[in-house]
Structure 1
């Protein structure tokens, strides 16, 4: 009985954790569409394909998200996308990177 309760609790925790990470990807996709799609001149799929998942993770870990976005999209200027949304855009980019096999709907 105790094992069943632990199993149920861990299943619930896993479901909540996966929903939270998906929410970041969704928020990142919406931020890309709203703030970056037009100035970048490309959709989110083409943007995310610029790097592999490992490369996007490294860019995020190094705190170079904004610099990389400006490099890929020369029309984007510093401050065009809020600092709070950069992590979400990076999560989106990681999720749909060139080696992910995933294709976004934007």
Structure 2
């Protein structure tokens, strides 16, 4: 997820078809568990946030590799540092979904 105002990112993984719907629903309701993300969503508005899929797969054999990719994007974008992102944990999620996506910006933090 990309905040287009300040270029902050939220990196996440999960089922491609439900992740965006779940995040957007919680953010719209003001109930997202990520307080920093919720605060800036409320401040800047939904139109300033973009959902970007960086990588996806449909093969269970790729899940381990995709978890490594998530950690890579967390490190590359510095998403756990408040000035760059909204992630509060560098640990990539153990993903059992066969479709994994990583939310991020098109332009990564340098």
Same fold (TM > 0.5): no
TM-score, normalized by length of structure 2? 0.34
TM-score normalised to structure 1 length: 0.34
Normalized per residue, which structure has more helix? 1
The structure whose Rg is larger is: 1
